[in-house]
Structure 1
Amino acid sequence: MTAPAEASTAREGAQTVRVELGERSYDILVGRGLIASAGDEIARLLSGGRVAVITDDNVAKAQLPALKASLDAAGIGHVTFAVKPGEPSKRFSTFEQLCDQVLEARLERGDAIVALGGGVVGDLAGFVAASVRRGMRFIQMPTSLLAQVDSSVGGKTGINSRHGKNLIGAFYQPGLVIADTAALDTLSPREFRAGYAEVAKYGLIDDADFFAWLEANHREIFAGGAARDEAVAASCRAKARVVADDEFEAGNRALLNLGHTFGHALESAVDYDGARLVHGEGVAIGMRLAHAFSARLGLCPQEDVARVEAHLKTVGLPTHMKDIPGQLPPAATLLDIIAQDKKVTRGALTFILTRGIGRSFVEKGVDPQEVLSFLTEELVEQI
């Protein structure tokens, strides 16, 4: 991934990013106003099928009318199911309800589930698509920055368990991703900042030049200029390459979890209370923790830790556990949550560590006592 990249192949004014997975390859369309023309794209994919649009109550108000009009114009039959916004909807009861609704609507295997919303909707709707009739067609229409640059691409779907985040689900690729960047205009500043954490992640993983480009262009990205579309497309290109190389996270795809092991533990620790912490904020804190933990192990220069923290703070993201309102559980409890993480293998802790900005790597068999000591020191800041 390089910083200001040339536009990909254009399709109706959009940048097109290809996810190469053989017979299951698909396109990601990135551009403004794509929801209003989505019907034609979906019609080409389905050839006469019907769709069930799964969304949430907030997105339905802002984006659903344009999508319905587009589907009607393309002659695509559709039903809509809306869930409550937020992480608590990623649970068994909501999943069961949606499966029943799709079946009651008599959608067939060749019909499609359309996820119109952020990461919660995409994960939940994708798991429904993977499960009903043992697999229906699936289209992602992400409306949050976080979903456009991360969760809508790559086929990870699922729901949360009381044991942790995203522990129940499936790898299930969409047939198309339509990322309408105009939808980002409706996000609150907090939601946009949270999504930006995932954009910064791509630079921190393996592209120091992209991180430097973000440091120089973040104001235009937040203001909605051309740099915003480029940041989304560049992030999608980065993830598409990783997914094509390692679809089922057997190797380097795990690098995409930079900051997520700590971040997911913090989300679980606050019981997914979005008033206290949303996913992207957890990732931001987690990325600073990953760099600080790496520095503690003698792997990462302290100046890189400071640089990561400075940039995340500049755009308004939290970087320390003390930035989370309210009390957190003790370090031992956080370690127990981490031990339930999907990246644990036969009880050994796996972390994404770093030797500096753009130099992340997968480290298996991390000593739990090192993690416990580190978390204990970090929690002292809260006192």
Structure 2
Amino acid sequence: MFVDEAKIYIKAGDGGDGCVSFHREKYIAAGGPDGGDGGKGGDIVFKVDDNISNLIDFRYKKKYTAEKGQNGSSKNCTGRNAPDLVIKVPRGTVVREAATGRILADMSCDEPVVIARGGKGGRGNAHFATPTRQIPKFAKPGFRGDEYEVVLELKLIADVGLVGFPNVGKSTLISVVSAARPKIANYHFTTLTPVLGVVKIEEGKSFVMADIPGLIEGASEGIGLGHEFLRHVERCRLIVHVVDVSGIEGRDPIEDFNAINRELANFSEEFAEAPQIVAANKSDMAEPEQIKSFREYVEKTGLPFYEISAATTAGTKELVYGVWERLQQLPPVKQFEAQPLTQEELDDKLLSKKDFKVTTEDGIYFVEADWLWDVLRSVNMDDYSSLQYFQRVLRASGIIDRLLEMGIREGDTVSIFDFEFEFVN
């Protein structure tokens, strides 16, 4: 079974909790706090594995959770950092956030990508000792790890994509110009999954060709098999449009040519402008008038035209060299850039849950709000404008008003996660 799309849940490990401990040793009075910090939670890391060809494994396992960092302990011992959880995917997998559709990563290169970061460990009570607070009886819990529901979408990496109606000879063509061995038979939808083949021109010159399962009219709207695999054409630098010019099935090659181009354009506007070469296949069974009429129509559109017979290999060498020459003029295989959240999207996401809790202990005001963790990660404490943004968030969420209601005064300490500051109204 070929699976090229899956939805999974990923959760990075939470940070370990800080420790509340006091040094106890014979003959040493008032040893002071010695609680250590918690360890960092494990990251969720995606990595390309060329031994994996599709996403079928993610149909059976849909939840991936990294380990939590170890809690801190006495004697200022920091907890162990949790190991990263590495998820292996086939090359060409695009990782999207399910809720927004934004791209988190394009797994086209060999470098691993951290998709969800583990939580930082909480600080032990040794950090909170001051001349006026010598026996802090509290520590900080570990931070939460990132969590996402993500959609994995496999978009094959190929230089050239073969498109066309079913049974026009795409599989035969890729089998004679490369070492690929797809199933070939004289009926529609013989090819049920995309097939990749490496086409070698000469030593040091080659390109990757993809046989995309046959399209039909309405494919862009989900009709037939083609809709499921149109995504694999998106990365292709060049489209080779294979058309049955013989008309032996009672079809008009011009109508087929226009129909497939409409489906490509309906699926993606980029396809309408994509570089294309037309290969008139089964020319050995076509009348000269049929070939001439189709050639004249295609050349009026400005597209290169090649007359071939994949079954007899006639014209295939010329086509391959024509494809190679065209590829030299085109940019590299398309890669999808990760899409960070805009400031407005970040604000909406962060303030969508304004629940918070404010407590006091030893004169410190502790603000607990899970959504503030994302705010703190986006704020540069050394930048004035960034601090202003942080202040606006606190006011908009009602935290400042709650602190004032609880009687906070200027100079009092406010603690949010591991960030402490003096309150200034």
**TM-score (structure 1 length as normaliser):** 0.24
Which has the bigger relative contact order, CA under 8 A and spacing at least 6? 1
> Which structure has the bigger radius of gyration?
2
**TM-score (structure 2 length as normaliser):** 0.23
